[in-house]
Amino acid sequence: MKSNSPAQTKELGLLRERVESQNCHIATLERQLRALLTTTGLGPVSVQAHAPAESAKRWRARPAARKPAPDREFWPTPEDVSRPLVPPPGLRAYALKGVPLKVIGISVCGFSREEIEPLVEFIEQHQSQDRSFIPVFLTDSTAANIFRSRGFVFEYLPPPDRVRLRGSKAWADYAAERRRLLARKWGMADIITFGDVAFGRPLASGGPQSASAFKGKSTHERKAKNSTGNKSGRPAARPSCARRANGCDQINTTV
């Protein structure tokens, strides 16, 4: 893979900083527009594009037959040592793209859309100020636009009461296996849980997982009580850097 020249690297960094600045400018304009609509009493206007007309002809592609994999006893192949995926840092901190930072899982389960938005905004603001981590949100909500509009990666797992098909594996075992898979997929260094419901667990057993749940990783879940009913409208559980001198090696949750 061809590496970029110093001039190209500098120009790429400037472009990412410009994307980050433009995103902040757009967010400011949206807040001013919402305030203006509230003051004038006008409602929001939504525009929906028409679906494209379907073509008369439909072609069905037939995939080519796959060749059988060679027997490892006669044709040894190296083990698949895959690296974790690199999530995007989000639009508000887009200049961090390409910077090797730790990935933190943020579990926001058991909340409505109105309750998730201030949590995501708080994490976004904390990341733009601290600039030492990249969040990956874990949720049981189908309101995906909350994360997509801000450029964040999210992973979805429906709550147990929404499952209709029962398989041969218990839900708790499947949820624990899914969490381990996502921890390896994104290389999560830690998982912070907001509220009483952990990712993939019902309310009755929504407690923090121990570090042994993610073998081979220093990943565990932190349980943070959340309350959005205060006067400021901000969550009561606020992740903060415990050791800023060491580059924020650990993120703690304080209530």
Mean pLDDT of 99-113: 93
Q: Where are the domains of the chain?
A: 7-38, 94-254
What's the mean pLDDT in 47-55? 63
Whole-model pTM?
0.62
Is the separation of the CB atoms in 119 and 108 below 8 Å? yes
Whole-angstrom CA distances from 76 to 70, 81, 83, 191, 200 are 8, 15, 21, 37, 38
Class of domain 94-254: alpha beta
Where residue 78 falls among pLDDT bands split at 50, 70, 90? low
Mean pLDDT of 191-220: 56
d(CA 226, CA 237): 5
Is 242 a residue whose pLDDT tops 50? no
**Residue 211: per-residue pLDDT:** 33
- The 10s digit of each residue's pLDDT in 115-162 is 999 999 999 999 999 999 999 999 999 999 999 999 999 999 988 777
